Amino acid sequence: ALSTDKSCGRDLDQFQEKLWIIIVLQFFFAVLGNGFTIYHFVAWERTWHPGIIFSFNLALSDLFYTISLLPLAVYYFPHKDWKYGSPFCKLDRFAFFVNLYGSTFFIACISLNRYVAIVHPFFAHERIETFHAKVVSGVVWLVAIAISAPVLHFSNVEPKGNATVCLGSASASELPAYLPYSWFLLAVGCGLPFLLTLFSCVAIVCAVRRSHGTTRVEKCKVKILVSIVVLLYALFYLPFHVFRNVNLYYRVQDNVNKAIYFTYQIAKILVNFHVCIHPFIYAALAKNMPKCCCKGLQRQKELQEKKKNVELQLAPSHGH
C-alpha cells in the first residue's frame, strides 16, 4: 500500500511538473497586458471617473497576482522542489490569494458601477464621485488582505522524499481546520462577488431592453458585453474554487481521488488566465461599455426632459 501511495504521489507531481511552461507563458502575457494597461491609465487618462479607478485597481491586482506566479513556475520545473524557505512560501501563497480576491471584488465593483450609471443615471451623476471610488477601492484591498491573512498561518513547507514542498493549502494535521476556511473563501471571496456581478449584469440588460431610445444593435452589443463578463467569471473563478474544495474534502478523508486532483490542477491553470484576459476585456470596455449603453439612455433622457418642459409650459394655462 505504501509503494502504491508513493507511485500515486509521483504521478501527481509529474502532472504538475508539466504545467510550468504554461505558467511562464501566462506570466509574460499578463505582465505585458496589465503593464500596458496601467501605463495607459497613468499616461493617457486625464479624467479618472469611478470606472477607470476600479479598472486601474483591477489591473494592479492582476499584475501583483502575475508576479506571484513566477516562483510557482520555478517550483514546478522538474523536479518539483521548493528552495526558498518557509517565509517566502507563505508570502507567495498570501500574495496569490490577496490578488485573486482583489480581482474578484474589483470585477464586482466595475459591474456595480456600470449598473448604477446605467440603471440610476441621475443618482450616479449627482451623488457618486471619484472620491467614493477611491474609498471603495481601499476597502476592497483591506477586505482581500483580511480574508487571505489565515494563509500566512496555514501555508508552510514540508519535506517530501529528497525534495521540499510549498503547501498551497495546509499540512495533513491542519486540514480539518483549513477546510471550513476554504469554504469561507468560496462563499465570500468568490460567491459574493459573482452574485453581485450577475445581479448587475442582469439589471443592465433589463434596463437597456426597456429603453426606447436604444437601437436593436446597441441592445445586442450590451447583451454580448455583459454576457462575456459573467461567462469569464464563471469560467475562471468558479471551477477553481469548487474543485479546490472537493479535492480538500478527499484529502481530509485521507483519500486521493486522482480524477478530482487532475481536474483541480487544470482549474488552477485556468484561473491564471484571468490575468491575461482582463486587460482586453475591462480596460477596453472601461469606455466602450458606458458609451454603448448611454447613447440610447441619453436619447431617452432627452425625450423625458422635452416632455417635462412641455408639461411645465402648459402648467400655467391650466391654472387660469
Residue 159 DSSP SS3: strand
Residue spans of the domains in the chain: they are 1-288
Q: What is the pLDDT of residue 305?
A: 62
Peptide bond into 79 cis (omega under 30): yes
Amino acid identity, position 131: F
Q: Are 193 and 104 in contact (CB under 8 A)?
A: yes
Amino acid identity, position 7: S
Q: What is the pLDDT of residue 10?
A: 66
Which pLDDT tens digits describe the chain residue by residue (320 residues)? 434 445 556 667 788 888 899 999 999 999 999 999 999 889 988 888 888 899 999 999 999 999 999 999 999 998 889 999 999 999 999 999 999 999 999 999 999 988 888 888 777 777 778 898 999 999 999 999 999 999 999 999 999 888 999 999 999 999 999 999 999 999 999 999 999 999 999 998 888 888 776 778 877 877 888 888 899 999 999 999 999 999 999 999 888 888 998 999 999 999 999 999 998 887 655 555 555 555 545 555 555 565 565 555 565 544 44
Q: What is the pLDDT of residue 319?
A: 46
For residue 17, with 0-12 CB atoms within 10 Å meaning exposed, 13-18 middle and 19 or more buried, which class applies? middle
Contacts of 16-20 with C-beta under 8 Å, sequence gap 24+, read 16/76, 16/80, 16/265, 17/76, 17/77, 17/78, 17/79, 17/80, 19/76, 19/265, 19/269, 20/73, 20/74, 20/76, 20/77, 20/78
Q: What is the pLDDT of residue 4?
A: 43
Q: What is the pLDDT of residue 317?
A: 47
Q: DSSP label at 80?
A: P
The position carrying cell 489591473 is 59
Q: What is the pLDDT of residue 114?
A: 87
Q: Which CATH class is domain 1-288?
A: mainly alpha
Residues of the chain by 3-state class (helix, strand, coil), percent to 5: 85, 0, 15
